[in-house]
Structure 1
Amino acid sequence: MKRLLHGMVGAIVLAGTVLAAAPARAAAVEYVALGDSMASGPLIPNITGPIGCGRSTHNYAHELAAELGANLRDATCSGARTKHMTEPQSTSVGGVDTGTVPPQFDALSASTTLVTLTIGGNDVGLVGIAEDCINLDPTATPCKGEFEDEVAQRTRDLGPSLDAVLDGIRARSPKARIVLTGYGLYIKKDGCWPLQPVLPTDANFLQGSVNAMNDVIRQRTTAHGGTYIDLVAPSAGHDACQSSSRRWVEGYVPVHAAAPLHPNAQGEAAYAGIIGGALDS
């Protein structure tokens, strides 16, 4: 009997030791995606969420969440500006009202462990300016002179707005890793007129404005202890001047299911891989 009891006690102790030594199962990442149309993926199949937000099931947030096995709350919305982190946003499709969506910060909570954000393009207004810079006449006056000062001022104004956004994320989700992406390479040096109908000077002005905006995003992100993801360098050879099989962003006339001057599905998947790689490192 004593031997039996001794053996049972030994087995119980051994089992307890094995259980104690087994690694605890990692908690799932609680991931919130915030941002504008670069993050939401308008017109990339399939649509999810409010139709006016143009949110795709194959935007970089969904691709990244699948890679991480994360629980995703996707609050991205086309047309969003920094103010829509804390204010409701009115949405529309083709000029038709599609209702109002809540402030994107409503998706954040104290349990959030990862936040990605792409914002600033609509604050600076670059897509609208790019549309105004279309030029089918190679001898015309470049648009750069008309918009240069306006873009520079809006880019400077973006900095304080980003400070408030980053402080707001940290206050609501103190445990979260905060990741901000820049915007990618939309058009190569000197452009590719007439394939993309902007003059060489304006192609350099437009991409240069994207780069300047990225610098502000990078500076503010690092100052607040966040992680900045550069998308320009890894996008080399994948801009709108490239073949349909290589491009990550569409030009003025898309060749894939995506919005003009926005990432396509290949681009969103590539961005997810770049962000995931940065998180691993």
Structure 2
Amino acid sequence: MLASATALSAVTFGLTAPAAHAATPLNYVALGDSYSAGSGVLPVDLSSPLCLRSLANYPRVIASRTGARLTDVTCGAAQTKDFTASQYPGVPPQVAALGPDTELVTLTIGGNDNGTFVNAMTACGTAGLLSGGKGSPCKDRYGSGFVDQIETNTYPALKAALRSVRDKAPGARVAALGYPWIMPPTADPSCFAKLPVASGDVPYLRDIQARLNAAVERAARETGATFVDFSEVSEGHDACKPGGTRWIEPLLFGTSLVPVHPNALGESRMARHTMDTLGLG
């Protein structure tokens, strides 16, 4: 009986004894522009005020949910060139944060190259106001210009930026995120006060964003990175939707300090979908 009890005790101890070593936190580096930085979402990271980086951006959410050890060098207004050159005085090139021990890299980049987002939204918003929301004045004026710049300039720059990441962190898993939808598929008349884009230019702007996301996806595939696609999960969460549903704030009458950017809900959902895509958490 004593022998049996001793044996049972030994088996029970063997089943319940804790592991000898705790799991090592994932070494995670976050790169990218204002969609990565969460610009406009409070609270602000005061360690780099020029970058308008949020303490609630999607990299912080991913790190908090996975226990990863995060180095966050995301920066508002970043372009692909800022991966390998200083964006502001005292702000190192983003890839300087990478090293052979980096295990995970996330990034959202490309929307600021050629001023694509700013120029397209400004041009189409101005044209929409002048036309009273009728027709497609922005498309009529600019045609394929924005898309041509994406194909000619942004796409090769994306590939170069992703290669620079791979050079600095050859063993890392790299996730290149697309941009969640800003515009709905077709015009919503009730949204004109918040996004003053003419009805015919709503699908025009959406197509520009789709072409940018396609360029990111192609560059990711060709450089061995994982593309995180938001085209399905962000549908119905564009800037025209009400608060609590939208992931992106509108140009006017929004709640964020930085319009046409993800709000806190958007950053959280970007984190969730990235984790789902990568099988994290």
TM-score normalised by L of structure 1: 0.85
Paired with 1:271 and 1:155, the residues of 2 have a C-alpha distance of 23
Residue type of the alignment partner of 2:80: T
Q: Tell me if the contact between 1:133 and 1:143 (Cα under 8 Å) persists in the aligned partners.
A: yes
Partner of 2:254: 255
Percent of pairs with identical residues: 34
Structure 1 counterpart of 2:68, which letter? A
C-alpha deviations, 1:116-144, integer Å up to 9, x for none? Answer: 01000001422222122112213465111
Cα RMSD between the aligned structures? 2.2
Distance 2:208 2:154 in 1: 13
CA drift of 1:191 comes to 2.6
Provide the residue aligned with 1:149 in structure 2: 144
Question: Residue 132 of structure 1 aligns with which residue?
Answer: 123
Alignment partner, residue 205 of structure 1: 204
2:108 to 110, 114, 118: 118
The one-letter code sitting in structure 1 at the alignment partner of 2:29 is V
Q: Aligned pairs, how many? A: 258
4+ residue runs of structure 1 moved beyond 4 angstroms?
Answer: 20-24
3-state SS, counterpart of residue 146 of structure 2: helix
User: What is the alpha-carbon distance in structure 2 between the residues aligned to residue 148 and residue 27 of structure 1?
Assistant: 52
**Which amino acid in 1 is paired with 2:105?**
V
Which whole-Å CA distance do the structure 1 matches of 2:118 and 2:167 have between them? 31
Higher alpha-carbon deviation: 267-276 or 182-191: 182-191
Task: Say if 2:17 is the partner of 1:26.
Answer: no
Aligned pairs for 1:1-281 within 5 A:
22=19, 24-48=21-45, 49-90=47-88, 99-124=89-114, 125-134=116-125, 135-136=128-129, 137-139=132-134, 142-156=137-151, 157-193=153-189, 194-195=192-193, 196-280=195-279
Other-structure match for 1:7: none
Secondary structure (helix, strand or coil) at the match of 1:33 reads strand
The normalised TM-score by structure 2 is: 0.85
